Amino acid sequence: MVPMIALIQRVRRASVEVEDVCIGQIGAGLLALVAVQPGDTPQQVSRMADKLASYRVFADAEGKMNLGLKDTGGGLLLVSQFTLAADTTSGLRPSFTTAAPPNEARLGFAALVKACRERLPRVEIGRFGASMQVALVNDGPVTFWLKT
């Protein structure tokens, strides 16, 4: 089974623009760049949504990373990014044969958005398949690579 992938960054703020129009923005929370791979299952989508809602990357009262988004009430900005699934093991040009085909990826990403919105009060998204400009202020910096 191939894992669904997310690169998450704890942010003070993040936004995504398409054609110079802001289509999603959050304050403190997580920016998640997401790659759907062939055969990602509903169980993997659910597991990723659970991780995005609960992964402990925010400081508690003692300064330890013990809190997740569902604890802090922060925002989640989801951006589809098929390049995360690239095969970079040989040569100097990435191969995208390991990324899900566009229709499968669109459905998988939509399922993840729905699952995250069931778990969290504030979920913003980029536009699937669009050329996007993503801006962020990484808090820490804190960045993690998640797989299901």
Give 22-50 pLDDT, tens digit per residue. 999 999 999 999 999 999 999 999 999 99
Contact indicator for 115, 46 with CB cutoff of 8 Å = yes
pLDDT digit string, tens, across residues 89-137:
999 999 998 899 999 999 999 999 999 999 999 999 999 999 999 999 9
Q: Report the CATH number of the 5-147 domain.
A: 3.50.80.10
* pLDDT for 118: 98
In the residue annotation, 81 being an active-site residue is answered as yes
* pLDDT for 104: 96
Contacts of 10 (CB under 8 A, 6+ apart): 29, 30, 57, 58, 138, 139, 140, 141, 142, 143
**Which entry of 9, 37, 58, 82 is annotated as an active-site residue?**
82
Predicted structure pTM score: 0.96
**Which entry of 83, 88, 133, 143 is annotated as an active-site residue?**
83
Query: Which of 127, 131, 9, 6 shows the shortest CA–CA distance to 75?
Result: 9
**Which entry of 9, 37, 44, 81 is annotated as an active-site residue?**
81
In the residue annotation, 143 being an active-site residue is answered as no
Q: For the chain, how far is it from start to end, CA to CA, in angstroms?
A: 10
Contact indicator for 9, 145 with CB cutoff of 8 Å = no
- Indicate whether 67 pLDDT > 90: yes
In the residue annotation, 58 being an active-site residue is answered as no
Here the tokens at position 25 are: 């923005």
Contact indicator for 54, 104 with CB cutoff of 8 Å = no
* pLDDT for 59: 97
Sign of CA dihedral 47, 81, 35, 104: positive
Angle between helices 102-119 and 42-54 (to 10 degrees): 40
- Indicate whether 2 pLDDT > 90: no
